[in-house]
Structure 1
Amino acid sequence: MPLRAAEGPTGEILIPMDERRARAAGIDVTRVQAEAGTAQTMLPGTVAVPPQQLRIVAAPAAGLVETVLVAPNEPVKAGEALARLRSTDLLEAQRTYLQALSAEELAKQRLARDEQMYRERIIAERRLLTTRADHEFARTNLQEREQMLALLGMAEPDIQAVRKTRRMAAALTVTAPEDGVVLETRTSAGERVAASAPLFSIARLKPLWVNLQVPLPQAMAIEPGTRMSIPGTAAQGEVIRLGRSVDPATQSVTAVVEVADGAETLRPGQVVTAAVALRPNGTPQWSVPAGAVVRHAGRSWVFVKSADGFRAKPVTVISESPSASSIRAGLTLDDQVATRGILTLLAELTEVYGG
């Protein structure tokens, strides 16, 4: 009875097999070829705006868009006008503001009168304290109404103009919150919008992110700090984060690359192919025929010939082509790996790790 495969202390799976059984299974072997400790792999990716650099400009109040003053892809400065909005909510907020302003002024006059009467000992202190409290309440209410106007998008000079002239403005100006580029305009002149409806998206386009789709077998070879460039452009950067979750459809993880140098040559939403330079990590790098690497139990393996059969050895795939694969593993120049007839070895591996 042949011996069964078993896991060794280094994570290798020992698969006992004599020469006759190996020949019957049609197993061929080839010697591994040493490679330099660096490699480059090409990975697909998509250009994106870092979320902290993207701002959505929403309608501060419900109303009618009177005019749109910017177009997509137009650079804007902080405070620059984006649109004009005519709003009944704005009129109502100004009305309550003016009422609060009148109430505060009246409370202030009463306080001044009562303070004078208290100094002349005409009224009691209790009445003065009540008048002071009334004035403080009126002042706080006025501040609240002023803040409401600011939240509705009225600039401080416009609020002061309303205060001085006692005349209400029927429209307000929607402005850019910071410097950037208008990525999207979500409204048009003549459209009625609800409060908080998104009107524009504005982004700072430097730096940008490139979200790379890394096949799971290669994910172990990429780490924060790994350099990336995009052929044909000046864009280059480094990996800042490697995702922990796997896309079930593509069996890949996302590596986020921050691109500062050459970011102006990229566009959000652009699909790119990036060259990722994989640095040596102390593990030798080898070239083996493409058919020598198998996938099982979420890992990549090669079957290394030994005196007693084969050792199923976990490896890290650096890059792959139709004819060869670059791997990192603790091998030697004398090691030979199975390239054909691997189904029998894979079945033995499955016995240990399950299907």
Structure 2
Amino acid sequence: MRIPLGAPFLACALSTLLLLAPLPVQGVEPAPNEVQIPIDERQYRAAGIEVVRVEAEGGTTQTMLPGTVSVPPQQLRVVASPAAGLVESILVAPNEPVKEGQPIARLRSTDLLEAQRTYLQALSAEKLAAEKLRRDEQMHRERIIAERRLLTTRADYDYARTTLQEREQMLALLGMAEVDISAVRDQRRMVPALTVSAPADGVVLEVRATAGERIAPAAPLFSIAQLDPLWITLQMPLSQANAITPGTRVGVPGTPAQGEVIRLGRAVDATTQSLAAVVEVTDGAEALRPGQVVTASVALRPNGTPQWRLPAGAVVRHAGQSWVFVRSAHGFRARPVVVIAETASTVSIRASLTTEDQVATRGILSLLAELTEIYGG
């Protein structure tokens, strides 16, 4: 059979037309986690929906978040009064550096005198019990007394020794130095005043007592802190919860302070609807002060997902996730996105989009209602 000359060209033209023809809508499957929202042209116009083409962004994005500087709890020490008494003198001032063991206050306390008195009594009882035990051991070796009496004497000595150790520990808990306890033991001379010492190196943040004041046991006297490193607790919008991760670098503009996020909060503040992100400042912490309110610059590094800029109204929040509505052949596709930065007019997101995609910016309440009905939550 002879094929006409024009037949190959006609076949080629028909194949090209078939390739260019649009695929049926039912053959297009939404991407994972997407929600297909069918809507016809009449509904589209009635809802007043407007769309805009997405705009690509590149590079590292900086977002500014408010935060408060604080001292890590493991670096803060509260010095309390070891006993009730009268504050005789305060030896340090606020913001003054101190060293471990440095005297910071002196107290006069009747509790201290009572503790020394009972210690001296226990010391005498222990010596008496030791002498009695030595004598009974000698008499037992000479078979003058029975073994039962020796056992009783040993038990009495153990009790006296334990009581003495308890009284000595009580003096240490009251803040007496070892040299003062030795003086009481060797010279049997009681000390009327108690010296309060710094428990660690640091800076005095607060002095809570004054000279001449009577205080109760365990009353707070000083707050002493180590100021390097420091923490900044950032208030992070809920929409950016997936963009900031542990290890994200943070800086404070205008200062050398820099650090990284070490922990993200799980509870949401009911008033501000924000999460707490704790930043540990390891470089330039001396430029910050506990209690200072700062605005921190958070560097959001690319993670391989394309980054886009949209008008602020294009992103909605539903079921704990941020969404955009992407125009499709027969409606819209609700696509989950990650918000990484936002201003009053624009929002930066990370999502699997293309430069040809169009996203709804106005009239999206009807789309949100459809999403709620289909997706739930």
Q: Following TM superposition, by how much is the alpha carbon of 1:197 offset from its aligned partner in structure 2, in angstroms?
A: 1.1
Q: Corresponding residue for 1:4? A: none
Question: Partners in 1 of 2:31 and 2:61 — Cα distance?
Answer: 30
Partner of residue 320 from structure 1, selected from 335, 342, 346: 342
Say whether residues 1:140 and 2:127 are aligned partners.
no
Question: Partners in 2 of 1:348 and 1:85 — Cα distance?
Answer: 72
Partner of residue 279 from structure 1, selected from 301, 311, 315: 301
The DSSP-based 3-state class of the residue aligned with 1:15 is strand
| 1:140-289 alignment runs, 5 A limit | 140-289=162-311
Partner of residue 115 from structure 1, selected from 93, 114, 137: 137
Say whether residues 1:21 and 2:21 are aligned partners.
no
Q: Which amino acid aligns with 2:299?
A: A
Question: Partners in 1 of 2:150 and 2:319 — Cα distance?
Answer: 83
Question: Partners in 2 of 1:177 and 1:119 — Cα distance?
Answer: 51
Say whether residues 1:85 and 2:107 are aligned partners.
yes
Q: Following TM superposition, by how much is the alpha carbon of 1:8 offset from its aligned partner in structure 2, in angstroms?
A: 5.8
| 1:294-333 alignment runs, 5 A limit | 294-333=316-355
Query: Which structure 1 segments of 5+ residues have no match?
Result: 1-6
Contact 1:208 1:258 in 2 (8 A): yes
Partner of residue 314 from structure 2, selected from 281, 292, 295: 292
Q: Following TM superposition, by how much is the alpha carbon of 1:351 offset from its aligned partner in structure 2, in angstroms?
A: 2.4
Q: Corresponding residue for 2:95? A: 73
Q: Deviations over 1:216-241 (max 9, x none)?
A: 00010011111100000111011111
Q: Following TM superposition, by how much is the alpha carbon of 1:354 offset from its aligned partner in structure 2, in angstroms?
A: 5.2
Q: Following TM superposition, by how much is the alpha carbon of 1:128 offset from its aligned partner in structure 2, in angstroms?
A: 2.5
Question: Partners in 2 of 1:77 and 1:197 — Cα distance?
Answer: 22
Q: Which amino acid aligns with 2:320?
A: G
Q: Following TM superposition, by how much is the alpha carbon of 1:299 offset from its aligned partner in structure 2, in angstroms?
A: 2.3
Q: Following TM superposition, by how much is the alpha carbon of 1:164 offset from its aligned partner in structure 2, in angstroms?
A: 1.2
Say whether residues 1:127 and 2:149 are aligned partners.
yes
Q: Which amino acid aligns with 1:118?
A: H
Alignment identity in percent? Answer: 76
Q: Deviations over 1:163-215 (max 9, x none)?
A: 11111111111111111111111111111111111111111111111101100
Contact 2:325 2:334 in 1 (8 A): yes
Name whichever of 334-343 and 18-27 sits farther off. Answer: 18-27
Q: Following TM superposition, by how much is the alpha carbon of 1:132 offset from its aligned partner in structure 2, in angstroms?
A: 2.2
Question: Partners in 2 of 1:336 and 1:293 — Cα distance?
Answer: 13
Query: Which structure 2 segments of 5+ residues have no match?
Result: 1-28
Question: Partners in 2 of 1:115 and 1:251 — Cα distance?
Answer: 77
Larger Cα-atom Rg: 2
Question: Partners in 2 of 1:332 and 1:25 — Cα distance?
Answer: 25
Contact 1:60 1:153 in 2 (8 A): yes
The DSSP-based 3-state class of the residue aligned with 1:61 is coil
Question: Partners in 2 of 1:121 and 1:318 — Cα distance?
Answer: 91
The DSSP-based 3-state class of the residue aligned with 1:254 is strand
Contact 1:228 1:275 in 2 (8 A): yes
How many residues are aligned here? Answer: 349
Q: Deviations over 1:247-278 (max 9, x none)?
A: 11111100111111111111111100000001
Contact 1:304 1:311 in 2 (8 A): yes
Q: Which amino acid aligns with 2:35?
A: I
Q: Following TM superposition, by how much is the alpha carbon of 1:19 offset from its aligned partner in structure 2, in angstroms?
A: 2.8
Q: Which amino acid aligns with 1:262?
A: G
Q: Corresponding residue for 1:3? A: none
The DSSP-based 3-state class of the residue aligned with 1:11 is coil
Q: Which amino acid aligns with 2:250?
A: M
Question: Partners in 2 of 1:23 and 1:121 — Cα distance?
Answer: 116
Q: Which amino acid aligns with 1:271?
A: V
The DSSP-based 3-state class of the residue aligned with 2:124 is helix
Question: Partners in 1 of 2:54 and 2:171 — Cα distance?
Answer: 74
TM-score (norm 1): 0.94
Q: Following TM superposition, by how much is the alpha carbon of 1:353 offset from its aligned partner in structure 2, in angstroms?
A: 4.4
Question: Partners in 2 of 1:91 and 1:210 — Cα distance?
Answer: 46
Q: Corresponding residue for 2:373? A: 351
Question: Partners in 1 of 2:341 and 2:121 — Cα distance?
Answer: 72
Q: Which amino acid aligns with 1:292?
A: A
Q: Deviations over 1:63-119 (max 9, x none)?
A: 111111111111111111111111111111111100000111111222222233333
Q: Following TM superposition, by how much is the alpha carbon of 1:25 offset from its aligned partner in structure 2, in angstroms?
A: 2.3
Q: Which amino acid aligns with 2:119?
A: Y
